[in-house]
Structures are given as structure tokens and as C-alpha cells.
Structure 1
Amino acid sequence: MTEQQGQQPPPAGLAVCYRHRDRETGIRCTRCERPICPECMISASVGYQCPSCVQGASAASRASAPRTLAGGSLVADTRLITKIILALNVAVFIAVLSAGDRLVTDLGMLGHAWDPSRGGWDFIGVADGQWYRMLTSAFLHQEIWHIGFNMLGLWFLGPQLEAALGRLRFVALYLISALAGSTLSYVLAAPNQLSLGASGAIFGLFGATAVLMRRMRYDMRPIGVLLAINLLITFTWSGIAWQAHIGGLVAGAAIAYGMVHAPRSRRTAVQVATCAVVLAVIVVACVIRTQQLVG
């Protein structure tokens, strides 16, 4: 057997570093007792540890760290994502006030319509490839009362869900609920009906809060009364896109159920699968509706 050039084996009988076989050492890891050279020595509370033991300890620490009910990481600020979403809505609202109706026309939820201002027979909407409208419309508001009510609901429901689910799961819940609201509007509303607002996402938070409270065995009457009032307003006030409210509500409840009832051994996989199934339903519904409108 030949040795690699420049790496001569140490004298027989001396310990060699388990990672660098050409280096002799008299130091051993305090955890596994493997010999380690100065390059591999990592200071510990007592003695030195090898890189493998340090990495293993870090992984075990992450695995045993406290988690939220849905498996998310515990954080100090449980309102961060809520505040970011609220700020985005306010920023877009200010942009709408500055830019006028054109921004609403370009970004609002619209299935399929002819825009004469573009000259000729120019169709716009989701059916014409403008899929971004399904999400951008959820951040659009024109009236102060509209954004006021939606942001009040976000601030009331968001932090509790963000704390219970974790930040990443809360973002998924909010965005998919918004998409589900736009999807039901796309499927059921008139093709040229323009709609906007975060109501679909907010109703998703309502549905998720009801599921969470049920899971925690809290008194369901407060959220039940609040949801009933909002549904009453949805179906009695004119000019409200009830389809977005119901779509967001159903999606939010379904996603939250998958998140808070997922078995701990397969929690992440079940949660990802739940979101994937809801997204798959959204995609299939949109494809079918698009074929109906332009096929």
C-alpha cells in the first residue's frame, strides 16, 4: 500500500486525529474520547470536543427545543408577520390613493373582461393569463372603512394564530386563504366582476381561529358570535364579494385543522400535504373555470 505524497504516517503507538490521519495528538474529545488535533479541538465547558460531537449536540438541541402547538419555533415577537402584512396593506392602500383607479383595474380580482381603454378588443383578467390578480387583489383597498375593518380583524386574530402556528405556517395560512377566496370568486362570480380586499384571508383567519379554539377546548361562543355577525354582514350588505369570504373561510379552517391535528411523528409532512391539497384544489378549479371562459 502506498501513502499519499506529503502525508507520512506518524510513528507507531501514537494516537492520530480521527479526521486527519497524518497528525499525532495527545488530546481526546471529552464526549467520545476520539483523538483530535488542534485544528479539530472545539472548546467546551470542560476540555475539548470534536466537531462531530458538537454538531450532534446542536442537532439534538434543536430537536428538543420548545415548539408551538403546530410545531413552529417559539419567538419573542408573535406579532411580527401580522405587522408586516398590515404594513403591506396600508402601503398598497396609500399607493391606490396616489395612483387612482388604474392600479385597482390592473391588480384587482377580475376573471375575464374587455378593457376598451387599451384600444381594440383587449381582454384582461385571470382567464387571460393574469394569475397574479388572485393574490395582488388581496392587498388592495379603496375605501378607508374597508381597509379599517379588515386590518382590525387581522390585528385581532393574527397574533394568536401566529403564536400558535409559528411564522411560516401562519404565512401559508394567510396566503392560501387569500388565494382560495379569489378562486371561489373566479368560479362563481360574473366574469367581469372586479373585486378586491383582504376579506378572504381574514375569513381564513376566522376559520383557523375556530379550529384552534376547538382544539384547545376553549369556549367557542365568542368566536362563534363574531363569525356569525361577519357572515350576516357578508350576505346582507350590497357590494360584498361573499364568494371570497366563504372561500377563505373554508380554506382557512381546512389548513388549520391539518396543522393543529397533525400527529407529532409526521407533523411537518401532514401539514405540507394539507396545504398542497388545498392548493391543488385551487389550481384545478381555476383551470376548469378558465377553460369555460376562453375555451
Structure 2
Amino acid sequence: MPPQYPQPLPRSPYNPVWNLVAIVILLWGVQMVNVGLFDGRLILNGIYPRQLDELQGILWAPFLHGNFGHLLANTFPIIILGGLVMLGKAEDFWVVTGLSALASGLGTWLIGAPNSIHIGASGVVFGYFGYLLLRGYFDRSAFAVTSSMLVIIFYGSFLWGVLPNQPGVSWEGHLFGFIGGGFSAWLLSKSAR
């Protein structure tokens, strides 16, 4: 009887791109439920700066959008920039997403305008932007530097979004999301070394 060798395990059908697809589906699902069942009132669960009893808004704000146009404006950058983040390691995607959302929310809660409410996934979008922009500096690999240069060429105008130049836009969320993404680039490149 010939010797039996262990059979290789079948390849997993899991593809990290499904993480990105799931996020987009979740965002659109929340918006449909918000409009269809709650008449848009879920946005009241956003971030209220410096109100201790409203700290949970930091968790909910990235999933809430004022209207479908607001959500659409965040969807394409999430897909494109989030996809570029995912080209690295799939685990890095979740670290960047989590740190960007947390930094964006906390920063907005700390310095946001009083008597305002902040919602939207743009803090995470700016986190992806900050991560991709600064990853080239921290990693110094050819791939990271090339992706940083492409991001600055195609999305460089995003830098204006971290300034208080548009009424009704949470520049605080953008700024701190960007900082969270930059911190992620530093943290992940340092741990890789």
C-alpha cells in the first residue's frame, strides 16, 4: 500500500474585498432604514460636541448620513481609497478604519462647534486618505511611495477638506480622521519593521 500524504486544505472562498462590499451595503442599508422607517431621525444619534451623555454618537456617526447625496459622496471614496488600503494586508484595513473612525469621532466631540450635530463616514474617508498619503513616507517601499503619489495626484484636493472653509461640513471630522489615518500609517509601518 503506497504511503498516504496529507491532502492540502481547500482554498478559502473568503476574499477581503467582501469587507469593503459589506461596509458599503451596511451604510446604504442604514440609510434606507433611516429614511424608510425613521423618517431621517436616526441622525439624531450623531456626535454632539462635549456632551458627555451623547458620547455614544462617536460610534454611530460614521453610519449615519443626512441624505442619499451625502452617502453617495462618501461611497465612491470609500470604495476607491478603502480598496487601495486593502491592497496591503486585509488586517490593516480594519485597523485603519477603526482608528480613523475613533479619531474622527473623538476629535469632533472635543472641538466641534457647540450646538451642532456631526454625522457621516467622511472621517473614515479622510482616514484612508491620510493613511495612503503617509504610508509612503513611513514604509518607503516602492509600492507604498507609488500609491502615495497616485493618491496625492487624484485626491490631493481632499487636503482642503480639513480646513474650516465650507459651512455645514464637519471639517473637524475630516481633520481628525486624517490624523487617525496618518497615525495608522505610522503604527502599521512601525509594527511591520
TM superposition score category, shorter chain reference: 0.7 to 0.9
Aligned residue number for residue 157 of structure 1:
81
User: Is 1:179 aligned with 2:102?
Assistant: yes
Aligned residue number for residue 192 of structure 1:
115
Q: Residue 239 of structure 1 aligns to a residue in which SS?
A: coil
| Post-superposition CA distance 1:218-254 (Å, at most 9, x none) | 3343312344312325543221110110101111111
Aligned residue number for residue 157 of structure 2:
229
C-alpha RMSD of the superposition: 2.5
Aligned residue number for residue 139 of structure 1:
63
Larger radius of gyration: 1
Aligned residue number for residue 259 of structure 1:
188
* Matched residues, number: 180
* Among 148, 172, 188, the residue aligned to 1:243: 172
> Relative to 1, partners in 2 of residues 1:222 and 1:169: Cα closer, same or farther, differing over 3 Å?
closer
Task: For 2:101 and 2:13, locate their aligned partners in 1 and report how far apart those are by CA, in whole Å.
Answer: 25
Identity %: 22
Structure 1 residues 107-146: aligned runs within 5 Å: 107-111=45-49, 125=51, 127-128=52-53, 130-146=54-70
* Among 72, 77, 86, the residue aligned to 2:15: 77
Letter in 2 for 1:104: I
CA contact (8 A) 2:162 2:175 kept: no
**TM-score, length basis structure 1:** 0.55
User: How many Å apart are 1:256 and its aligned residue?
Assistant: 2.0
Letter in 2 for 1:103: L
Task: For 1:240 and 1:82, locate their aligned partners in 2 and report how far apart those are by CA, in whole Å.
Answer: 25
**Which deviates more from structure 2 when the two are superposed, residues 231-240 or residues 89-98?**
231-240
Task: For 2:73 and 2:192, locate their aligned partners in 1 and report how far apart those are by CA, in whole Å.
Answer: 36
Higher relative contact order, structure no. (Cα contacts within 8 Å, ≥ 6 residues apart): 2
Structure 2 gaps, min length 5: 7-11
**TM-score, length basis structure 2:** 0.81
Task: For 2:118 and 2:156, locate their aligned partners in 1 and report how far apart those are by CA, in whole Å.
Answer: 23
Q: Residue 191 of structure 1 aligns to a residue in which SS?
A: coil
Aligned residue number for residue 96 of structure 1:
34
User: Is 1:212 aligned with 2:135?
Assistant: yes
User: How many Å apart are 1:157 and its aligned residue?
Assistant: 1.2
Structure 1 gaps, min length 5: 1-42, 47-73, 113-124, 265-295
Task: For 1:76 and 1:160, locate their aligned partners in 2 and report how far apart those are by CA, in whole Å.
Answer: 18
CA contact (8 A) 1:78 1:163 kept: no
User: How many Å apart are 1:196 and its aligned residue?
Assistant: 0.3
> Relative to 1, partners in 2 of residues 1:172 and 1:262: Cα closer, same or farther, differing over 3 Å?
closer
Aligned residue number for residue 45 of structure 1:
5
**Which has more helix, going by share of residues?**
2
Task: For 2:103 and 2:161, locate their aligned partners in 1 and report how far apart those are by CA, in whole Å.
Answer: 20
User: How many Å apart are 1:263 and its aligned residue?
Assistant: 4.5
Aligned residue number for residue 11 of structure 1:
none
Task: For 1:199 and 1:207, locate their aligned partners in 2 and report how far apart those are by CA, in whole Å.
Answer: 12
Task: For 1:209 and 1:194, locate their aligned partners in 2 and report how far apart those are by CA, in whole Å.
Answer: 28
CA contact (8 A) 2:47 2:55 kept: no
CA contact (8 A) 1:210 1:223 kept: yes
